[in-house]
Amino acid sequence: MIPTAATSDPPEVTRLRGRGTPLRERFFRLGLRASLAVGVLFLVGLLTYVVVEGWPRLNSKLWTNFPDVIDPSNAGAQSAITGTVWVVSCTALYCLPTGVLTAIYLEEYADRDRWWNRAIEINIQNLAAVPSIVYGILGLGVISRGLGFGQTVLTASLTLSLLVLPIVIISSREAIRAVPQSVRQASLSLGATQWQTVRRQVLPAAVPGMATGSILALSRAIGEAAPLLLLGGLTFITFNPTGVQSQFTVLPIQIFNWISQSRAEFTALASAAIVVLLVILLVMNSLAIWLRNHFTHRW
């Protein structure tokens, strides 16, 4: 990384001033630090709160038992955990290939001067910022009722994969763009076709970057609840999904369900489930950061 002027500011500059740093400067710097500190403190407070609240319920009942409205002390989130695994695996299955292929098209094949390619690009940027509940409306109106797929794992994972598709595309494009042109030219000059060049040279070099983006996209899908509310995820489910045609619930929805109950036991239960969800997400995030740090290729 290129050091900015600020970071490489030589100490002589301050020594040249007669008196120390003016008060205004100090307050400014303090203010900047404070604005970061609010975020950090909030995060610490949130994590402490859910762990303390959820501590009594962080036992094996949480993942071996099914939801129970009558007896919260024996309720668990097994159907939500298996549902999450089902929905997210199917989401990965649909959105990762589509996203990577779109990125290859836009970076390696598309002619930038054509209006339709520019339109596709703007469209993807725009989709990235469409509210998730609107994807829920799409899932409800077109996939669930329009195509008649119903309130199933299939509908949920199709909806979520459309939701996170822009993230996969944008991060894969960045990974492909980071592969230098000379690698492609060398491959083409040896007589490889365009697809051979992409498959054997560009893709292997771009895989770490793509994996990082994909993990971040899937962790977004794991935490997403709003669109699934419209797709019947809130239904009271006491069985594990058996296939893509199955009804489902997922962890964030189960948490939402428990939050809506007023009894204190349910608050503890929700906190415990939140801890489980956050642990999964933290593991995925660290994996993404690790991947990025270890496999970033310097050409």
For residue 27, count CB atoms less than 10 angstroms from its CB and return exposed for 0-12, middle for 13-18, buried for 19 or more.
exposed
Any contact of residue 256 with another protein (CB under 8 A)?
Answer: yes
DSSP string spanning 199-260? IIIIHHHHHHHHHHHHHHHHHHHHH--HHHHHTTTTS---S---STTS----HHHHHHHHHH
Among 18, 19, 20, 38, binds another protein (CB under 8 A): 38
Measuring CA to CA, how many Å separate 238 from each of 32, 49, 76, 78? 49, 28, 10, 8
CA distance 232 to 67: 16
Any contact of residue 183 with another protein (CB under 8 A)?
Answer: no
Least distance between another protein and beta carbon 183 (Å): 13
Which range touches another protein (CB under 8 A), out of 73-81, 204-212, 239-247, 253-261?
Answer: 253-261
Which range touches another protein (CB under 8 A), out of 18-26, 58-66, 204-212, 239-247?
Answer: 18-26
Any contact of residue 210 with another protein (CB under 8 A)?
Answer: no
Any contact of residue 267 with another protein (CB under 8 A)?
Answer: yes
Site for another protein, residues 87 to 126, rule: CB under 8 A: 97-99, 101-102, 104-106, 108-111, 119-120, 122-126
Among 80, 225, 237, 291, binds another protein (CB under 8 A): 225
Any contact of residue 25 with another protein (CB under 8 A)?
Answer: yes
CA distance 148 to 142: 8
Element at 47 (helix H, strand E): helix 23-54
Which range touches another protein (CB under 8 A), out of 26-34, 61-69, 72-80, 82-90?
Answer: 26-34
The rounded radius of gyration (Å) of the Cα atoms in the chain is: 24
Least distance between another protein and beta carbon 176 (Å): 12
